[in-house]
Amino acid sequence: MSDEFPVEAPRSFEEFSACEELQEHLDPPVPEVVPAWILWELVQAGAVLVVCFDGLGIAREPLGLALALRRGSALRVVLYGVRRDLPQYGEVLGAIVAGISGQARDKEVTEILWPFDPLDARWAELFLEVLGAEARRYELRRDHSGEIRYLRALASLPVGKGPVPKRWKAAALKGFFPVNTTRLVPGKLREPTSWNLHLTTPHLVLEIPGQGMASLPASLADPWRGAWEALEAYLDKGYALVGLYRQGDRAFLVLERKYPDR
User: Is the omega angle on the peptide bond into residue 28 within 30 degrees of 0, that is, cis?
Assistant: yes
Domains parsed from the chain with CATH numbers: 7-158 (3.40.630.30), 167-257 (no CATH)
Contacts of 207 (CB under 8 A, 6+ apart): 178, 179, 180, 182, 190, 192, 250, 251, 252, 253
Over 90: is that where the pLDDT of 59 sits?
no
Return the half-sphere exposure (C-beta side, CA atoms, 13 A cut-off) of residue 42: 21
pLDDT, mean of residues 105-114:
94
pLDDT at position 195: 97
Task: Give pLDDT, residue 2.
Answer: 58
Specify the pLDDT at position 41: 97
CB 116 within 8 A of CB 152: yes
Selected residue with higher pLDDT from 118 and 160: 118
210: closest CA among 257, 245, 235, 178? 245
User: Bridge partners of 204?
Assistant: 177, 255
pLDDT reading at 252 higher than 90: yes
Higher per-residue confidence, 213 vs 58: 213
| pLDDT number for residue 156 | 96
**In the predicted model, is pLDDT for residue 111 greater than 70?**
yes
Q: How far apart are CA 113 and CA 218, in angstroms?
A: 30
The mean pLDDT value for 159-187 works out to: 87
Give the pLDDT of residue 191.
95
Q: What is the DSSP letter of 130?
A: I
Range 187-214 average pLDDT: 93
Helix (H) / strand (E) element for 67: namely strand 62-71
- 254 compared with 170, residue with greater pLDDT: 254
Predicted confidence at residue 137, as pLDDT, reads 96
**How many CA atoms does the CB half-sphere of 239 hold within 13 Å?**
27
pLDDT band at 193 (very low <50, low <70, confident <90, very high): very high
Closest CA relative to residue 167, chosen from 58, 243, 65? 243
Do the Cβ atoms of 99 and 45 come closer than 8 Å?
no
For residues 3, 27, 25, 77, the Cα torsion angle rounded to the nearest 10 degrees is -70
What does the pLDDT look like over 2-33, one tens digit per residue? Answer: 567 899 999 999 999 999 999 999 999 998 99
Q: Quick one: average pLDDT of 57-81?
A: 93
In the DSSP assignment, the letter for residue 159 is T
pLDDT (mean) for 109-124: 95
Residue 135 pLDDT level (bands cut at 50, 70, 90): very high
| pLDDT over threshold 70, residue 261 | no
Percentage of the chain modeled with pLDDT above 90 = 78
pLDDT of residue 262: 53
Specify burial of residue 95 (Cβ count, 10 A radius: 0-12, 13-18, 19+): buried
Amino acid 227: pLDDT: 94
Cα–Cα distance for residue pair 252/168, rounded to 1 Å:
13
To the nearest 10°, the Cα dihedral for 23, 27, 32, 36? Answer: -20
The pLDDT of residue 200: 95
With contact defined as beta carbons under 8 Å apart, do 80 and 72 qualify? no
Give CA–CA dist 165/168, Å, rounded: 9
Tally helices (H) and strands (E) across the chain.
6, 14
Average pLDDT of the segment spanning 97-106:
94
